[in-house]
Amino acid sequence: DVKVTQSSRYLVKRTGEKVFLECVQDMDHENMFWYRQDPGLGLRLIYFSYDVKMKEKGDIPEGYSVSREKKERFSLILESASTNQTSMYLCASMGGILGANVLTFGAGSRLTVL
């Protein structure tokens, strides 16, 4: 019954490495999101996409980019990882009418940058 799948649950990378976080949803949702979760800060929106090849910056886009080449897949890219990007990353999707506002989340990808 998995609906939003994040391919990597745990990653350890070195400073300066390029990091790809992959997210796939099987609900044919138009909208997909990447959040970052840190203790005491809650969830903060990095980027979202409302259609294939479309993207919008969220509240903390610096140091990140995204790619959405297919409707079901939304990738988060860290061009040059830094230690302050050590965090839990959550992907989510949302479909239906605009008023639904209900997000379906993946299990998360915990990234450690050394």
Partner 1 sequence: AQSVTQLGSHVSVSEGALVLLRCNYSSSVPPYLFWYVQYPNQGLQLLLKYTSAATLVKGINGFEAEFKKSETSFHLTKPSAHMSDAAEYFCAVTSTGFQKLVFGTGTRLLVSP
Query: Per CB under 8 A, which of residues 16..55 are in contact with partner 1?
Result: 31, 35, 40-45, 48, 50
Q: Does the footprint of partner 1 cover residue 105 (CB under 8 A)?
A: yes
Q: Which of 72, 77, 103, 114 binds partner 1 (CB under 8 A)?
A: 103
Q: How far is CA 49 from CA 1, 12, 55, 104, 112, in A?
A: 24, 26, 4, 14, 25
AA letter at 47: Y
Q: Which of 46, 76, 90, 111 binds partner 1 (CB under 8 A)?
A: 90
Q: Does the footprint of partner 1 cover residue 62 (CB under 8 A)?
A: no
3-state helix, strand, coil in the chain (%, to 5): 5, 55, 40
Q: By the 8 A CB rule, do 48 and 94 touch?
A: no
Number of shown-chain residues binding partner 1 (CB under 8 A) = 26
Q: Does the footprint of partner 1 cover residue 101 (CB under 8 A)?
A: yes
The residue behind tokens 């839990």 is 88
101 bridge partner residues: none
Q: Which residues bind partner 1 (CB under 8 A)?
A: 4, 31, 35, 40-45, 48, 50, 56, 58, 90, 92, 94, 98-103, 105-108
